[in-house]
Chains A and B, each alone.
Chain A
Amino acid sequence: MAVSTSLQLEQTPAERLRWQSVTLAWTSLLFVLFPVLASLGLFMRAYQANLFPRLDPAWFYTAMTLHGLGMVGLWYTTSFAGMAYLVARYVRMKAGVMWLSFTMTLAGVVLLLVACAVRFSPGWYFLYPLPFKSGGTWPAWATDVFLATLLVLGVAWILWILHLLWAIAHRYALSQALCWHYLRNATQPEVPPVVLVSTVSGIASLTALLAAVILLVFLGLERLLGIPADPLLMKNLTFYFGHTLINVAMYQGVAIIYELFPRYTGLPWKTAKPMVIGWNAVMVLVMFAFFHHLYMDFVQPRAVQVIGQIASYSSALPAAVVTILGLLAQVYHRKVRWTLASVLMFAGTMGWAIGGTAAVIDSTIVVNFRFHNTQWVPAHFHTYLLIGLVLIVLGFTAHFTQEVSGEPERSRISKAIATLWLLGGYGFVSLFYIGGWHSVPRRYAGYPREVAEGSLYARLALMLVLPLILALLIYIWEVGKRWLAAYAAARRPS
């Protein structure tokens, strides 16, 4: 076994069962929420392709809000759940806290659905003051329900992050968890990469959620006391929160890979100095890279904008030099056990690299001047989500359900899923890239004549995505069966 089993803590059968149960609960969301949210995305592309000419555009924007918020929440939480399942082998986390977060997250989803039922649609990052100025599209109480949603989700997620950091702190001092002793060439205590990345992700997440708390306080002050907030400050807080959260979701996916992928190559992936430097740099850089979302706010200080470009460029270095090169080294002339899990994780990092490259290009101020809020933006984030992080989480789920259920894998089915997903995924996102290249705006329910080709691109995207839809259905069928078997196994008295 390639993992550092000597570092793992002994889990009682009851503890193992509790972790399996809560992870089954989190992964069940993939089989329910993902198809629903993906259907909303398809509906949006169909709307842009003029397939619903009589339907009120408010439904397009409501679908956009639900799709965006839902997907960000889904991949942030499920990647956290995957990482927590693995890190719980090294530090004493309590599955009960995961259950509490799960319950509160579900409550947040219900509240969000209530708000969206009355066409609440300020977009996933609800840029102030739009939630309060809907132009009559949604009632004021829908904004209140949404603020309650934020509150519930914020508390749920802060709770589990604090718990993660608390559990890590019980075994390692902060400097050890961040592996600073490796910089002095000391390798004791040995810290597995999953703990290092969990610590970095936890700290970054915490800062993001604190920004969200401040944001919520300002929104509450305006709603309750009529005290308006500063739009530029609110924009900075919003993008700090959103940018950091979605980046952390990717880091959590990388933590899963560090821990799981070596089990398929038989080669240990140990913490080393370049990894430590890289991840500590990431923790700092992610806090400054978000400025690239505000390049088109010319009143931001010029120095801040330049810092945004430098930080965005720099954050690409650890990803390429530490993680991606490390993964490639893992497979180079190795006897790799290619299964659905390992193939999806491997391919997921490729999507991360390709989407990340597009993001770095867009983080160049002179390029952003022409790409900002065009379809280049959904192009790059769909690349590192739909054919990046999503594949990693689905890979984790395939691994986890197989581990618990012991069900064998059908390799032809696995090959079909991976091939169809990649074909459909790359085909789908390519139309976003072409749209961005041709100045087609993002988030448009319909296209004016200057960018009328946007409809054609949407139509083509709907055709090209068909293999991915098929892959998703096969995945749900195949891994869903395994999930049910794992559920049965987890309930069976040992």
Chain B
Amino acid sequence: MTGSSAQAAGVVQRGLVLSAIGLLALGGVYVLALGYTPVEVRQGLAQKIFYLHVPAAWSALLSFSLVGIASALYLWLKDPRLDRFAAASAEVGVVFSAIMLTTGPIWAKPIWGTWWTWDARLTLTLFVFFLFIGYLGLRAAVHDPAERARFSAVVGILGMLLVPFIHLSVYLFRTLHPQPIVLKPSAPSLPPEMLTTLLVSTLVFTLLYLGFVTARYGLALADEAREEARDAA
């Protein structure tokens, strides 16, 4: 193993340890959600999906926002670390989006009576999910590193521009999706047990995001080290 590969392996290991801690902490979130928070009278146990769905949505939108910011900075500074970070954040964002897009319909079925409805927030969220799958496909298809970074930066910025629309869509359009109860102009409207569990879960999902992105960044570093070694040979 070369020096660069050893460095990359160290980064991957740090990310894996961090995300393993996050996975263990997620078990704690399950205990809090199932044992500490009260059962909501109108929605029953299905309401507790909230403690996974909302933090997954937070992490997905955080990932995609950071892809856009890193992409814009890449176009300006041409620093390959920014491109590597954007690629890592996009992949992790797709994983969190998959959780958001599966837990959402599972929660919707008993409460709305339907798995899916083509309203603004759901449709925009699905659109962003597909857009970032396209982003990852684009990266896999373009082999020249500078071209790949430039093309994907443009797509990453376009994806980020949709994030505020997803957040504001419940205000801008008629929708079945509930309005924000935490990230809103007035104080959060939740009982303290629910708010505490939601905040703990959000912290755990953010820790998972950091761990996954670190590991994925290390893998990209390892790929580049291998390509450089191959070119030098």
Q: Is chain B found bound to chain A in the same assembly?
A: no
**Which of A's residues lie within 8 Å of B, judged by CB?**
none
